[in-house]
């Protein structure tokens, strides 16, 4: 008998003790009226009097709405589906704020999407995803506060225009790609021509600079050679002056200079006045004295005697 009583007490204790898991809350009613909200942990429930009205998770949840028809401002019907990320921040409001808060959130999302897209044209709808997402998030978050729901963000998952609109968009995109390809080819050709012209110009500049440097180097070499020749001649004259040569040696050097100037090809040689005077004096001396005249005398032929015809 005592064991039965102990077993009944243990069973009642197990029934009365409730454990709320992490990231969850339980809404408790006592005799049909809201009593309290249990957070995570161990709690005691009075049987028959208290009951768990709702078990609410505080984790972030995802509401994936199916595609729905939406008409734009320019009367184009598109299929758009949305994804809503939300979480419950108040279990009491979530329990008593709406009969079915999740269904209410889905319907509110659909109507809000139609209102926002109805103010936009097709092109704006396709290019304004971020704007639509931001407006829907602000509207849904404000409207669901009384349901204990916090809407974190809303995303447009798919925007599906009609088939004919898709074909027109594909043709437009193809034309745009062809235009860009043509522009790129033209830009590439222009860049190639400019680069080639720049290369030719640089080559001409380098060739001109090379010719200029060659001429400068050639002129410097010739100037250096002339300078060395004049320096050698000056050194020779200085050496002759240093050894004290007489006038005859100087005259001989003048003749050697004349021979070098002619080079064996000159038909006329202009002799300086002092050289002419010297030559003339040498010739006069030779004619006077007979020295140096080695020209042989011509043989004198005897003329035959003519016979006198009168004496025969």
Rounded distance between C-alpha atoms, residue 207 and residue 186, angstroms: 31
Decide which of 246 and 209 is more confident: 209
Buried b (16+ CB within 10 A) or exposed e, 272-299: eeeeeebeeeeeeeeeeeeeeeeeeeee
Q: What pLDDT is attached to residue 306?
A: 52
pLDDT, one tens digit per residue, over 154-208 is 999 888 888 888 788 788 888 888 888 899 989 989 899 999 998 999 999 998 9
Q: What pLDDT is attached to residue 300?
A: 47
Domain boundaries, given as residue ranges, for the chain: 15-56, 61-161
User: In sequence order, what are the residues at sequence separation of 6 or more whose Cβ sits closer than 8 angstroms to the Cβ of residue 118?
Assistant: 70, 71, 72, 73
Q: Taking the model in full, what pTM does it have?
A: 0.55
Q: What pLDDT is attached to residue 246?
A: 61
Rounded distance between C-alpha atoms, residue 214 and residue 219, angstroms: 8
Average the pLDDT over 241-267 and give the result. Answer: 64
Q: What pLDDT is attached to residue 25?
A: 93
CB 112 within 8 A of CB 198: no
3-state helix, strand, coil in the chain (%, to 5): 55, 20, 25
Rounded distance between C-alpha atoms, residue 260 and residue 252, angstroms: 12
Which tokens belong to 47?
A: 């049987």
In this structure, which topology does domain 61-161 adopt according to CATH?
Tetrahydropterin Synthase; Chain A (3.30.479)
Rounded distance between C-alpha atoms, residue 258 and residue 161, angstroms: 108
Which stretch of DSSP H or E encloses residue 34? strand 33-38
Alpha-carbon Rg for the chain, nearest whole angstrom, is 63
Decide which of 22 and 250 is more confident: 22
Rounded distance between C-alpha atoms, residue 9 and residue 2, angstroms: 11
Q: What pLDDT is attached to residue 285?
A: 45
Please report which confidence band the pLDDT of residue 61 belongs to, taking 50, 70 and 90 as the band edges.
very high
Average the pLDDT over 8-12 and give the result. Answer: 71
Q: What pLDDT is attached to residue 135?
A: 93
Rounded distance between C-alpha atoms, residue 55 and residue 181, angstroms: 61
User: What mean pLDDT, rounded, does the chain reach?
Assistant: 81
Q: What pLDDT is attached to residue 164?
A: 84
pLDDT, one tens digit per residue, over 33-51 is 999 999 999 888 888 888 9
pLDDT, one tens digit per residue, over 217-230 is 989 888 888 888 88
Question: For residue 137, how far is the Cα from the chain centroid?
Answer: 40
Whether residue 293 is predicted with pLDDT greater than 50 in this model: the reply is: no
Rounded distance between C-alpha atoms, residue 123 and residue 136, angstroms: 19
Q: What pLDDT is attached to residue 289?
A: 47
φ and ψ at 48, to 5 degrees? 70, -40
Average the pLDDT over 264-290 and give the result. Answer: 53
């Amino acid at each position: 008998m005592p064991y039965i009583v102990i077993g009944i007490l243990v069973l009642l204790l197990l029934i009365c003790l409730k454990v709320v898991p992490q990231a969850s809350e339980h809404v408790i009613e006592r005799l049909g009226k809201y009593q309290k909200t249990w957070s995570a942990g161990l709690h005691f429930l009075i049987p028959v009097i208290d009951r768990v009205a709702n078990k609410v998770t505080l984790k972030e949840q995802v509401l994936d709405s199916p595609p729905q028809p939406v008409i734009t401002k320019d009367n184009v019907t598109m299929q758009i589906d949305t994804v809503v990320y939300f979480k419950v921040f108040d279990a009491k409001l979530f329990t008593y704020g709406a009969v079915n808060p999740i269904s209410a959130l889905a319907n509110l999302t659909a109507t809000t999407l139609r209102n926002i897209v109805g103010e936009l044209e097709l092109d704006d709808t396709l290019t304004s995803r971020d704007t639509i997402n931001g407006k829907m998030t602000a509207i849904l978050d404000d409207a669901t506060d009384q349901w204990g729901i916090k809407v974190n963000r809303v995303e447009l998952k798919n925007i599906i225009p009609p088939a004919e609109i898709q074909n027109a968009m594909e043709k437009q995109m193809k034309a745009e790609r062809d235009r860009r390809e043509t522009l790129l080819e033209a830009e590439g050709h222009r860049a190639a021509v400019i680069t080639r012209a720049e290369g030719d110009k640089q080559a001409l500049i380098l060739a001109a600079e090379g010719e200029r440097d060659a001429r400068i180097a050639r002129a410097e070499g010739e100037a250096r050679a002339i300078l060395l020749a004049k320096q050698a001649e000056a050194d020779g004259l200085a050496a002759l002056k240093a050894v004290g040569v007489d006038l005859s040696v100087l005259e001989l050097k003048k003749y050697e200079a004349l021979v070098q100037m002619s080079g064996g090809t000159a038909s006329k040689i202009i002799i300086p006045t002092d050289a002419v005077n010297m030559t003339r004096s040498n010739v006069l001396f030779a004619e006077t004295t007979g020295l140096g005249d080695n020209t042989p005398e011509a043989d004198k032929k005897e003329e035959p005697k003519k016979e006198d015809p009168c004496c025969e």
